[in-house]
Amino acid sequence: MDTLTHEQRSERMSLVRSKDTKPELAVCRLVSSLRYRYRKHVRALPGAPDLVFTGRRKVIFVHGCFWHRHACVLGRMPKSREEFWRPKLEGNRVRDRRTVRQLRDEGWCVLVIWECQTANLDRLARRVRKFLDA
């Protein structure tokens, strides 16, 4: 049973952002500090990747652990309305796999960064640099 009214739930869900989330902004700051140039949310590409490095033919997605069902503590399934959440969140995972496959088929290299991985920026910086310089 949901503890919020329909109006309260609607208001809370309207605050959930799809662009410029805290993890995405942290990755953007990190990539900028490493002196790489990128474009954001290029809609001409499948999935409108969060960061696009056109000359390198590489893209980065920054996924929220909850919304994209990462196998970490942040990616847990809600306890209420599981019949609503399970297909919705599984649909996100299916769409993510399809998007990555489409990009790779078009010759793009794809890196997915999870929200929980933004906690250790030194490790993330090494991973991003290795990905972009390869």
What is the residue-level pLDDT of the chain in tens, covering all 134 positions? 667 787 887 777 676 777 789 999 999 999 999 999 999 999 999 999 999 999 999 999 999 999 999 999 999 998 888 898 999 999 999 999 999 999 999 999 999 999 999 999 999 999 999 999 99
pLDDT at 20: 80
Check residue 7 and give its pLDDT: 84
d(CA 133, CA 116): 23
Other C-beta atoms lying within 10 Å of the C-beta of residue 128: 20
* R_g of the chain computed on alpha carbons: 16
Tell me which DSSP letter residue 49 carries: -
Q: What is the pLDDT of residue 1?
A: 61
Q: Can you tell me the distance from the alpha carbon of 86 to that of 120, in angstroms, rounded to the nearest whole number?
A: 29
Residue 4 is predicted with a pLDDT of: 76
Domains of the chain: 18-133 (3.40.960.10)
Question: Could you tell me the two tokens for 57?
Answer: 């033919």
Q: What is the DSSP letter of 77?
A: P
pLDDT in tens, 99-133: 999 999 999 999 999 999 999 999 999 999 999 99
